[in-house]
Structures are given as structure tokens and as C-alpha cells.
Structure 1
């Protein structure tokens, strides 16, 4: 599936600190609001198109560490920025869909039509269990999420909703004022299991694919592109998460990757403890186990490690296969974010303009 428009580039907010290794002397752990505000404001100035604010109520690596709250932070970012798209992740069990739809509608108004939802169906067991919410099995979470997003979708469109489902009973409900900028905020969906693919085909605007090799990404795009959409829906678009290491030479990029692998070894005891908290049926976790990588959500498995020209060429190849938005991670984040904007993004645009 080819796409003709130029790609968009986004960044992951540092909601729980560094993305590759937590014990990095060149990037001390910092998940504060102050750092994230400065990061997003600079990303907007550098020309980045989107920021993804992942949602956790407690830190998924170590509960004693800081964790940025996604929705209050997104509302604040909406007021402080003027161009960048703000994508807030949401785990359906944490909010009733009527409440969440109203929150999303409000941030859409604050941002002037730049807000989006990223629906994820949770993998971190303690976050839900310790709150007394419970952690249903994988497919049950997706069934709940599918009904949940159907309610949110209708309310965000300004519909008056009467809904009787397995999980929600909603009677003659409408949210006002309706969205004056578009039909509703954009809906991104993550997850690669069969229930996730079915959900994104039915309700998503953009499917977020975790970082992985080109051939695997192309197969995923082909599978979901072939699925039936609801009447009147625009064609599904695709995003890719990836950790970028771009340097003047391949040798310098490889050396930095080796450096990050060494730092990540320091986090190994923490990662081992974390495994007990993760649902083993999550396809993301199964995919990650197949490759050595640094970074979250697939990280360097997408292969964006190399000299500036090589990284640009690989991004162009992914884009020609159908990836429209690249959601990027770096470490050290701020420094490498600048390098990418100055050295790699212009190369990508030149390659795709030829």
C-alpha cells in the first residue's frame, strides 16, 4: 500500500523517563512536567508534527519512580502549543466512556482541532489490579474496548446516543458544544492481535504499528488494509513507532547502539521483575522477544540506526509501503531530536520529492 503525501514525524513524550535505558549519565531520569513541556515546545519549533503522551497512572518500570499523567498534561500542552498534534493514550478501564469523551472534546476545543486519542487495551497488570479495577483476559479487554470506543466515537461526533451493550447503558446522551473543527478528533489504535486488528478496522483512523523490520510491517499493513471498513469511513492510515540513532557515519551509529545496549543491561533486574506484571498474550510482548533491541514499542527493531542517508532511505521505504506517521524515540532525547530534524528529515523529504 503506497502513500503519496510526505510523512509526518512525531515524538514520544517522556512520561516515564528515558526510552532506552534508565541509568544513563548523559540523560538523567526525568519524567517531570517541566521537562516534557520544554520538550514538546521545542519539538513544535523544530517542525515535528505530533506528540504521543502515553498513559500510565503508576510507572510501569518501577512504581517508586515519577510518572507524568497523560490527560492533564495533554490539556496543558494543548493550551501552550499552536501547531503540533497532541495524541493522548487512553486505557478504557480507567475512564467511563462518557466522561472520557467529554474530556477529549474539551481538549479538542482548547487545541483548536489538534487533539487525538490513542486507544490501547493495557498490558501492565498492577496498574488495574492494585486499583481494584481488575485485569480481564486479553480478548475480554478488547471486547470491552471495542464497545467503549464505539460510545466515545458517537459522542465525539455530536450524536445523541442511546446504547444498550454488554458493558454500558446510555440513555439519550449528547455532549455540547460539538466539534467546530471537524467531525471528531482523530482516533489512533495500538495493538497487533486479531481482536486489535478487527477493532482498528472498525473504529480507527490510524493504526500504530510497533517497531519491527520492513517486511513484517508491510505484511501487517496489507492484512489490515484488506479488512472491511464501515460505510463512509476514510481509508485507514498507518503509523510506526521507532527508536532512531542517526550519526554522521554508520560506525558512530553502531557504537552508540552498543553503548545503549550496555546501559540497558543495568536495567536488567528491573526488567525481569517487570515481566511478572505483563500479560503474556499481548502480541507486542511476543514480537519484542524475537529481536534484540533498545527502546520501547519495538525500538530499534525498525532498523533506523545508521548514518543520516541510510536512516533517511529506510524511512522513505517505510513511507512508500504505507507508513504516514513516524512516532520517534531518541536517547539522549533532546540532542538527537534536534539532529533528526536538522539532518534526517530534510533528506527524507528530498528523497520522496525526487
Structure 2
């Protein structure tokens, strides 16, 4: 599941879910998700709320460290924008959260899209491909450091000499590396350096094509890449009830039109995610309902199983109102989806 780092995922003004991006709300939400059997939580990184700069925004890395301390089973995945952190400092933080969580930590590398977080702070915001080139060098350094290596590196952006971090990871070779983005530089980056590729919500045939493209790229001796999918879930006893709720959330989301226009103006037009979302109107962020997880309990479970058969192992899910719909999903859909996935093969679909 996605942590509520900037409140509601579908519509900012929903009387059933008052806006709340507080630490207290997120702590309670993640602890309940863990108790319900969710496998992972993604803590997105923003310094400024991407929808409305006057609203609250949870800080990702301090929250991830705190969540690592109060949970016991759920994987904590913290997003990081390389332009905001030197790789040596970030790698040290990652290893510390890995230790706090006892081997349950992952980094989600996102090469930034919202210039409003950077330019007003006087931070550089290079053009799209330059951000990915920076991110590739950054990730090379981070990858070596979190693996316990003595890193000597001289590149365009970073210079390190015999730099080693201790203590090293006591639980595995290193924390997991998740990479987001669907542009050509993003695909090349995840093929070269990632463990899991996060794909934005979209129809099954698109996901199959994306997986086929990246799976065909060389990875050297690295293990096969794994795949995750973002999706907003609307599940009800009947298809008609789910569609009615979808329409209701879309109507609420329409009230945010002015804020979304500001967000679009602040977004790098070369970002593939934003272009794809604009071409497939949906509820929720990162593709949301475009993945088609809207329908009866059985329909949603069957669609999850179909994505799983195509190669998706981790479903990063959004809901609204979050707590109530997360409970509904855990009770009504997750058991069906896991049974279908088990019947279709040995791999178990993770719901998060």
C-alpha cells in the first residue's frame, strides 16, 4: 500500500476521508496494513506537497526510519530523488534503516518530475535525460556503498576515494533497489541496476509490452528483474456498485481541477508517466484506476491474477477512503487473488 504522505489519493476533498498527512495517521495506517497481511508500504518522497503547496506533506526518510522501528513484518520502501541527497549520505541512511528494520528496507529511485520542489529552493533541475544520467551515476555509487564495498569513483558528478560504510548490511547482500519511470533512460537504468521495476497503472496489454521490452535487456550476472504495478482499487460486491463508486470519486476529483492544472504546469513535459496519465484519465495517482482494478470482488481478483501471470509480483495499491477500503480489500479481494495466483503457478502475488 501507498503511505498517505500527502493525504488522499483520489480527491483532496472527500467528506469520508478528511485530509490528513500526519505522522500519527501514517503510523496507524501502516500498522493496520501490516496486521491485515499487506507485504510492503511505499513512502513517496516530496519536500513540498505536489498537489497543493499549502497542505501538509510527510517527510519520507525520517518517517521510513520510524516505521521500521514500530513494525515487525512489512517491508518499508522509501522513495528517493537523487538530486536531493549525496549518495554517501543517503547510502548511510539506507543501511541504518535496513538495520532498524532487520532487513526489511528498500530504496525506490525516482529521478524527479516536479520542478516546484527544486527551483524555489535554488536546487538544480536539469532536463529529463540529464536527470537520468545523474541518477545512473548516483545509483552506481549508492549500490556499491550499500553492498559494503570500498568505493573509489570519479565521474561527472561524484568523486569518492576508498569510501566504505560500516556496519555493513547484517541481513543480506544489500537493501532492495526499486526503480520507477518508463522513459527509455528509465528502462535502461532499471535493467542495469534495479531489482524491481515499478510500472504505473495501465491496461494489461501495455504492461505485458513494457515487461517484454525491459526483460529483453542485458543484466550481466544480476538475477532476473522483478516487476511491480501501481493501482487504485475500487472493489464492491457487484460490478455496478464499483462503477458507481468510481463515478463518485471521479466527480470529487474534478473539484481539484485547478490544483491539477498547477501541477501540470510544474511538471517536466518529457516525463512519460504524466503523458500516459493524460492520455488515460483515471482516479488516483501513478495511473490509478487505469490498471482496471475496478469491479466486483471476483473481477478485481481475476485482474490481479492476470497481471500476476504477466509477471507482476508486487501490487502497490491505493484506496479512498483509505482505511475502510484497505480493510475491504484485505477481507474480500486478497484471499481470492492469492488463491488464483497460487493456482496459476508457484509465485505468490504480493499485495501492498
Q: TM-score, normalised by structure 2?
A: 0.97
Question: Is residue 2:102 matched to residue 1:112?
Answer: yes
Equivalent residue for 1:69, pick from 55, 59, 63: 59
Q: Could you list the per-position Cα deviations for residues 231-285 of structure 1 after superposition, in whole angstroms to 9, with x for gaps in the alignment? A: 2x11000000000000000011000000001001110111112211000000001
Equivalent-residue separation in structure 2 for 1:331 and 1:82 (angstroms)? 26
Question: 2:188, 2:20 → 1: CA distance?
Answer: 37
Deviations 1:11-70 (A, max 9, x none): 000000000000001111100000000000000000000000000001011111000000
Match of 2:249 in 1: 260
Task: Give the deviation of 1:133 after TM superposition.
Answer: 1.1
Distance in 1 of aligned mates of 2:93 and 2:263: 31
The aligned residue for residue 101 of structure 1 is 91
2:208 to 203, 206, 218: 218
The answer as to 2:246 corresponding to 1:248 is no
How do residues 111-130 of structure 1 correspond to structure 2 at under 5 angstroms? 111-130=101-120
Give the gaps of 5 or more residues in structure 1.
Answer: 1-10
* Partner of residue 50 from structure 2, selected from 43, 57, 60: 60
Which structure would you say has the larger RCO, counting Cα contacts within 8 Å and 6 or more residues apart? 1
2:349 equivalent in structure 1: none
Task: Measure the CA separation in 2 of the matches of 1:34 and 1:87.
Answer: 18
Q: 1:294 pairs with 283, 296, 302, which one?
A: 283
Q: Which runs of 5+ in 2 are unaligned?
A: 344-352
Distance 1:118 1:353 in 2: 27
Moved over 6 A (4+): none
Could you say what the CA RMSD is over the residues aligned between the two structures, in angstroms?
0.6
In the alignment, structure 1 residue 33 sits paired with structure 2 residue 38: no
Alignment of 1:190-339 (within 5 A): 190-231=180-221, 233-339=222-328
SS at match of 2:303: helix
Whether 1:350 and 2:350 are equivalent positions in the alignment is no
Where 1:130 maps in the other structure, the secondary structure is helix
SS in 1 for 2:143: helix
Distance 2:267 2:218 in 1: 31
Deviation readout 1:182-213 (Å, 9 max, x if unpaired): 00000000000000000000110000000000
Query: 2:127 matched to 1:137?
Result: yes
Q: What's the offset of the Cα at 1:306?
A: 0.2
Q: TM-score, normalised by structure 1?
A: 0.96
**Partner SS state of residue 118, structure 2:** helix
How many residues are treated as equivalent by the alignment?
Answer: 343
Q: Does 1:181 align with 2:174?
A: no
Quote how far apart the aligned CAs of 1:353 are. 2.9
Tell me by how many angstroms 1:349 deviates: 1.7
